[in-house]
């Protein structure tokens, strides 16, 4: 497989880039594996990588119905952060942040992680108190946080509307300096290459059509490329979780599927070197390395498996962009797309054994799937290998909804689309 270095770049440049080797193999599926992972997105690939690299389990297959990175890992706004309030969430996402900080070196693949910071704006005294509470909680749990006042915002984000006559005047912001962005598809490719180099079979164009069971025990899967047996089967399929679990006879889960839209403008000169979120509505915006503004907002308020959204959300998001950044009014929108969000009942994920023996579930990521990619894979691999959760994902059980131990970061109750 390909080795990447400055020397290899120079060598291939001089030979017309004709000698690059494939980043990963295209194997045929074997009759049986120790572990099958359904889903070739960020979470499935990172799980396979950490099973091989951390736990020595290399007889693993990742089954992807399309191509690597064709799902939500390539359909998000690339934000990475760990600025959470609740004890169940903060250690997990901070662990993910620490993995992000060394990920390019570990994978020998540039995931373009840029720690440009994130600023969550607040617009009322009540919001300021809420942000102060969250910032203090972050600091107490070892996460970086600081307040940013309007004079500093004016210097650092010149395009930001700081007028006192705006509908929701900006009073300041809570910043996490270590947050930032990463290149989403590079993350998928890096983990795929890293897993393949450790012996994992990544099998594309292989759709799971059913589960093989001996009584209640899951012992394999039926696929479009034949039956494959395994000691353990893990599902990491994001918004398709309900559909895939229904194939195993699991028809009720604390998850709903919704569409989340994202937008990209034409490229412009550098004008926004951090991530900004809007406290007067729901907007998050940053500028990519290519110069495009990348942003998104609320999910479409209805259940759907479509990878496209409707115009009311487009209008809502655009109005919020112009409220914060009036100077962006004449930019042309290049494209938009939708990803299928697996929205849990409390806004926090599920990384756990079950709901059947031999089956493991990674789901319920709501808006937070991309930033959690390293920690999700690391914790899911631990759960699969050891048959018990790590302390980082111990709160993310499937039965917490039944037991009443919800992790409701936003305090919105059992209304998935509000999280």
Q: What is the pLDDT of residue 411?
A: 83
Closest to 349 measured CA to CA, from 318, 326, 383: 383
Q: Mean pLDDT in the chain?
A: 94
Structure token pair of residue 264:
């990209």
First to last CA, the chain: 42
Please state, in angstroms and rounded to a whole number, the distance separating the CA atoms of residues 182 and 204. 24
pLDDT in tens, 273-292: 999 999 999 999 999 999 99
Percentage with pLDDT > 70 across the chain: 100
Closest to 78 measured CA to CA, from 284, 303, 357: 284
Per DSSP, helices labelled H in 254-372 are: 311-324
- Cβ–Cβ < 8 Å for 262, 103: no
Please state, in angstroms and rounded to a whole number, the distance separating the CA atoms of residues 105 and 99. 10
233 strand-pairing partners: 36, 359
- Cβ–Cβ < 8 Å for 271, 321: no
Number of H helices, E strands in the chain: 11, 18
Give the DSSP letter string of 358-403: TEEEEE--TT-TTTTHHHHHHHHHHHHHHSS--TTTTT--STHHHH
Q: What is the pLDDT of residue 2?
A: 63
Give the DSSP letter string of 56-69: ----EEEE-SS-TT
Confidence of residue 29 (pLDDT cuts 50, 70, 90): very high
Give the SS3 label for residue 98.
Answer: helix
pLDDT in tens, 59-118: 999 999 999 989 899 889 999 999 999 999 999 999 999 999 999 999 999 999 999 999
**Domains of the chain in sequence order:** 25-82+85-107+184-255+346-418 (3.50.50.60), 118-180+256-343 (3.30.9.10)
DSSP 332: P
**Kind of pairing between the strands at 226-235 and 359-363:** parallel
Phi, psi of 278 (to 5 degrees): -100, 120
Contacts of 35 (CB under 8 A, 6+ apart): 51, 57, 59, 60, 61, 230, 231, 232, 233, 234, 384
- Cβ–Cβ < 8 Å for 210, 38: no
Asked whether the predicted pLDDT for residue 3 surpasses 80, the reply is no
Q: What is the pLDDT of residue 1?
A: 57
Contacts by residues 3-10 (CB-CB < 8 Å, ≥ 24 positions apart): 3/108, 4/108, 4/109, 4/110
Distances (CA, A) of 223 to 4, 64, 80, 109, 247: 34, 10, 34, 31, 11
Please state, in angstroms and rounded to a whole number, the distance separating the CA atoms of residues 198 and 349. 28
Q: What is the pLDDT of residue 202?
A: 98
Q: What is the pLDDT of residue 18?
A: 86
Please state, in angstroms and rounded to a whole number, the distance separating the CA atoms of residues 113 and 110. 8
Structure token pair of residue 356:
């059947």
DSSP 71: S
pLDDT in tens, 315-373: 999 999 999 999 999 999 999 999 899 999 999 999 999 899 999 999 999 988 999 99
Structure token pair of residue 18:
């004709």
What is the pLDDT averaged over residues 8-36?
92
pLDDT in tens, 154-205: 999 999 999 988 889 999 999 999 999 999 999 999 999 999 999 999 999 9
Asked whether the predicted pLDDT for residue 309 surpasses 90, the reply is no
Please state, in angstroms and rounded to a whole number, the distance separating the CA atoms of residues 318 and 157. 19
- The tally of CA atoms less than 13 A away on the side-chain side of residue 172 is 14
DSSP 311: H
What is the pLDDT averaged over residues 411-418?
78
pLDDT in tens, 109-119: 999 999 999 99
């Amino acid at each position: 497989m390909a080795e990447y270095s400055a020397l290899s770049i120079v060598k291939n440049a001089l030979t017309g880039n004709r000698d690059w080797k494939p980043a990963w193999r295209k194997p045929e599926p074997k009759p049986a594996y120790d572990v099958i992972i359904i889903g070739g997105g960020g979470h499935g690939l990172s799980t396979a990588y950490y099973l091989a690299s951390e736990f020595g389990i290399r007889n693993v297959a990742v089954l992807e119905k399309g191509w690597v990175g064709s799902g939500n890992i390539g359909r998000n706004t690339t934000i990475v952060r760990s600025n959470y309030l609740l004890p169940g969430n903060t250690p997990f996402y901070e662990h993910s942040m620490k993995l992000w900080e060394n990920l390019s070196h570990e994978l020998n693949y540039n995931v373009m992680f840029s720690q440009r910071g994130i600023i969550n704006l607040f617009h009322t005294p009540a919001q300021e108190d809420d942000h102060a509470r969250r910032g203090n909680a972050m600091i107490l749990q070892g996460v970086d946080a600081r307040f940013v006042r309007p004079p500093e915002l004016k210097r650092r984000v010149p395009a930001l509307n700081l007028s006192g006559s705006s509908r929701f005047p900006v009073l300041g912001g809570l910043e996490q300096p270590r947050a930032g962005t990463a290149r989403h598809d590079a993350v998928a490719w890096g983990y795929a290459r890293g897993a393949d180099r450790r012996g994992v079979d990544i099998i594309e164009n292989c759709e799971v059509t059913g589960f093989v069971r001996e009584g209640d025990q899951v012992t394999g899967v039926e696929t479009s490329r034949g039956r494959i047996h395994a000691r353990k089967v893990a599902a990491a399929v994001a918004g398709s979780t309900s559909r895939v679990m229904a194939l195993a006879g699991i028809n009720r889960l604390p998850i709903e599927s919704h569409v989340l839209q994202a937008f990209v403008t034409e490229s412009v000169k550098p004008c926004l070197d951090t991530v900004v979120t809007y406290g007067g509505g729901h907007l998050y915006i940053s500028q990519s390395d290519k110069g495009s503004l990348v942003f998104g907002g609320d999910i479409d308020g209805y259940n759907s498996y479509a990878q496209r959204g409707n115009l009311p959300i487009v209008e809502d998001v655009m109005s919020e962009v112009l409220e914060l950044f009036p100077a962006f009014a004449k930019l042309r929108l290049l494209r938009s797309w939708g990803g299928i969000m697996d929205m849990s009942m409390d806004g926090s994920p599920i990384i756990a054994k079950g709901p059947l023996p031999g089956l493991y579930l990674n789901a319920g990521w709501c808006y937070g799937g991309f930033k959690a990619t390293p920690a999700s894979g690391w914790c899911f691999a631990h759960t699969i290998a050891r048959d018990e959760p790590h302390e980082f994902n111990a709160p993310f059980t499937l039965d917490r909804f039944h037991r009443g131990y919800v992790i409701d970061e936003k305090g919105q109750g059992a209304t998935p689309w509000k999280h």
